[in-house]
Homo-oligomer: A and B are copies of this chain.
Amino acid sequence: MSKKQLIMETALELFAKQGFEATSVQQITDHCGISKGAFYLSFKSKDELILALIDHFMMQITADIDYIVRNAKNEDLLFQFYYSIYQSFYKHSDFAKVLMKEQSHTFNEELILKMQHYDKLISEAILSMIERLYGNAVKETKYDLMYGIKGFMNTYSQLFVFYNVPLDLKRLAESLVEKTNLLARHTTVPFVTEDLVEMIKFNQPGDLTTAKEQILPLIESKMEEMKDSIEKESLMLLKGELLEPMFPPAVVKGLIENIRRHPHCKWVSYLLIRYFELHKKS
Chain A interface (Cβ within 8 Å of chain B)?
Answer: 17-19, 21-22, 100-101, 103-107, 144, 147-148, 150-152, 154-156, 159, 162-163, 165, 167, 171-172, 174-176, 178-179, 182-183, 186-192, 196, 199-200, 202-203
Q: Is B151 in contact with A200, judged by CB distance below 8 angstroms?
A: no
Contact of A150 among B155, B189, B202 (CB under 8 A): B155
A162 to B192, CA, bound (A): 15
The interface residues of chain B lying within 8 Å CB-to-CB of A187 are 175, 178-179, 182
**What CA separation (Å) do A136 and B21 show in the bound complex?**
48
Majority DSSP secondary structure for residues of A touching B: helix
Q: How far is the CA of A151 from the CA of B149 in the complex (A)?
A: 10
Residues of B within 8 A of A101 (CB): 103-106
Which of B21, B103, B148, B155 is close to A179, meaning CB atoms less than 8 Å apart?
Answer: B148
B203 in contact with A189 (CB, 8 Å): no
Pair B155/A155 contact, Cβ less than 8 Å: yes
CA distance A104 to B163 in the complex (A): 13
Distance to closest chain B CB from A244 (angstroms): 45
| Closest partner residue, chain B, to A162 (CB atom) | B104
A-B contact pairs, 15 of them (CB 8 A): A19-B107, A21-B21, A22-B106, A104-B162, A147-B156, A162-B203, A163-B200, A163-B202, A167-B196, A174-B189, A175-B187, A176-B191, A182-B182, A182-B183, A186-B186
